[in-house]
Amino acid sequence: MNDGMDLLLLSSSRTHGYGLLEHARDEIAEFLAGVTELVFVPYAQRDHDGYTATVAEALRPLPITVTGVHTAADPVAAIGAARAVFVGGGNSFRLLKTLQDTGLLPAVRDRVRTGALRYMGASAGTNMACPTLRTTNDMPIAEPSSFGALGLLPFQINPHYVDPDPSSTHMGETREQRITEFLEDNDVPVLGIREGGWLRVRDAAARLGGLKGSRLFGRGAEPRELAPGEDVSFLLSGTPRFDVPG
């Protein structure tokens, strides 16, 4: 974990009862203070122009211009000149493959780690901040060259975390069961952030925010409930270990 990084990681860009990004608009405004142009990465969805226009409209109340990185003649150079980037949600496999294919994965990683680029993610974009794609909820509709993501954090996040419903007749795996299965083969904390919640990381500090809390999973430990506003800076000092069956 590198000091100097500034991250805003949303579980979701939409939450019930709010417009796109509306639930987090105050936090986004604070995060982007002093920035006049936001570079948006729409690669998690197929319609890049439409997705960019939708995000630009959602952020219209803020004094900021949204520019899709896909419109740049040289996307890597566009990231090199940016002060803030927003990686949107959609399919995490498609997103990671495109970041790899365009060369944006190392370009974003290097600038965020030095503190030169503020990083905002939502859903799939939040998955990208983790060491690996392994805790995404998405179907593998595309095949990236590896599951290795940006690695801005030393732990995993599960966006859109949904609690088990004891009254449900659905016989498939719950989200908790899937995360428990992940921990059978990997020794790294997983932060399940419910829709409407987010994680803010600044320098060597991390805190939860938003409308709902989170649930923290670890190998050999009972899940722990975390409330909005709670300090989770301790998660930044861990060392993830993958492919280590328990």
Quote the CA–CA distance of 202 and 71 in Å, as a whole number: 30
The amino acid sitting at 223 is P
> Which H or E run contains 163?
none
Quote the CA–CA distance of 158 and 156 in Å, as a whole number: 7
Asked if 231 is an active-site residue, the reply is no
- Catalytic-labelled residue, pool 12, 48, 160, 187: 160
- Catalytic-labelled residue, pool 13, 23, 48, 138: 138
Asked if 123 is an active-site residue, the reply is yes
Quote the CA–CA distance of 174 and 164 in Å, as a whole number: 6
CB 108 within 8 A of CB 146: no
Q: Is the C-alpha dihedral spanning 69, 72, 78, 84 positive or negative?
A: negative
- Catalytic-labelled residue, pool 123, 165, 187, 231: 123
Asked if 160 is an active-site residue, the reply is yes
The separation between CA 237 and the C-alpha centre of its own chain, rounded to angstroms, equals 19
Would you name the residues annotated as active-site residues?
Answer: 123, 138, 160
